[in-house]
Structure 1
Amino acid sequence: MKLRDLGGVVLAVLLLAGCSTSPVTEGQAKAISSDRVYAPDLVGRADSESAKATFLRDEGYFGSGCSHVIYVNNRKAFAIRQGEGVSLRLQPGEYSFRLETGAGMCPNIATSQDITLKPGSAVTYRILLPSDGNLRLTRIQ
């Protein structure tokens, strides 16, 4: 193998490795800046009847230039960047969480999940944009 060919292989491996993302835990996640919280009433104090919905966005290069926005029942709730997390306090009931991207350097992509939250329940979602380009909102708890 020629040195030039080897350099191309090394570059391709580095690019692919740079495209992978890594999940963050709630303890590792940075807080979202208040200027990107569009529905602050959803981030308020919990009572014994409320449910908790946590959203954690992966760290990593791939998708880092993208803006990711979560909508709760078609209401713009927050924008999240890589390595960040936020917990919402919601009243029990039916919810639709929609994740959209499209601002920045990414194509317009959306995905959603529906859930019924019970009093005192807790759910956690992982937000990732893997190298296949398919935006994902995956429930992990």
Structure 2
Amino acid sequence: AAVTMVVALSGCATSAISPKEASPTPGDRLFGLQSPPSGAHGNLVVTRDEGFMGGGCNTLINIDGKRVGEIASGEVATFYVAEGRHIIGAEVDEALCPDVLKEREFTVQGGETRKYRISIDATGSMDLSPTAQ
């Protein structure tokens, strides 16, 4: 019974998707950092896993405490950030989904691209992690 339950729950977790395979986040859900700033800057690529778990709720993306996008399951968004240290946040704040906020610090050099992945496991726990994809 325990094995059956683990197998059933693992089917509910999200699956990684590469930015090339993900759908672009529609422009009406991108609120900032869509144009390169003056001076040295880098790119931040955020990809949300695809799958059933959490699929009914979008994830809000914050950079340095400012809301810059809202990403759905299986989508990717690119943001332009000034060179230096930043905080990325992924937040779910909807009535039907758990209220969650994950934040990570990152540093970007001029011309560099940083990539992050939003995943949700079978228990509904969201994670925000660096990725090589």
TM-score tier (shorter): 0.7 to 0.9
Contact in 2 for aligned 1:65/1:104 (Cα 8 Å) = no
Contact in 1 for aligned 2:39/2:82 (Cα 8 Å) = no
User: Which residue of structure 2 aligns with residue 132 of structure 1?
Assistant: 123
How many angstroms does 1:67 deviate by? 2.1
- Are positions 1:114 and 2:109 aligned together? no
Contact in 2 for aligned 1:68/1:100 (Cα 8 Å) = yes
How many angstroms does 1:27 deviate by? 0.7
Q: How does 1:1-141 map to 2 (within 5 A)?
A: 15-39=8-32, 42-45=33-36, 49-141=40-132
Q: What is the aligned residue count?
A: 131
Larger Rg: 1 or 2?
A: 1
With CA pairs under 8 Å and 6+ residues apart, which has the higher RCO, 1 or 2? 2
How many angstroms does 1:93 deviate by? 1.4
Consecutive unaligned residues of structure 1, counting only runs of 5 or more, are none
1:119–1:64 distance in 2 versus 1, CA, 3 Å: same
Contact in 2 for aligned 1:66/1:104 (Cα 8 Å) = no
How many angstroms does 1:65 deviate by? 1.2
- The TM-score, its normalising length taken from structure 2, stands at 0.87
**Aligned partners of 1:47, 1:77: CA distance in 2, in Å?**
18
More helix by share: 1
Percent identity, aligned pairs only, is 25
- The TM-score, its normalising length taken from structure 1, stands at 0.82
**Aligned partners of 2:10, 2:82: CA distance in 1, in Å?**
41
Q: Secondary structure at the match of 2:51?
A: coil
Consecutive unaligned residues of structure 2, counting only runs of 5 or more, are none
Question: What's the Cα RMSD here?
Answer: 2.2
**Aligned partners of 2:38, 2:50: CA distance in 1, in Å?**
31
**Aligned partners of 2:115, 2:95: CA distance in 1, in Å?**
26
1:22–1:47 distance in 2 versus 1, CA, 3 Å: farther
1:34–1:104 distance in 2 versus 1, CA, 3 Å: farther
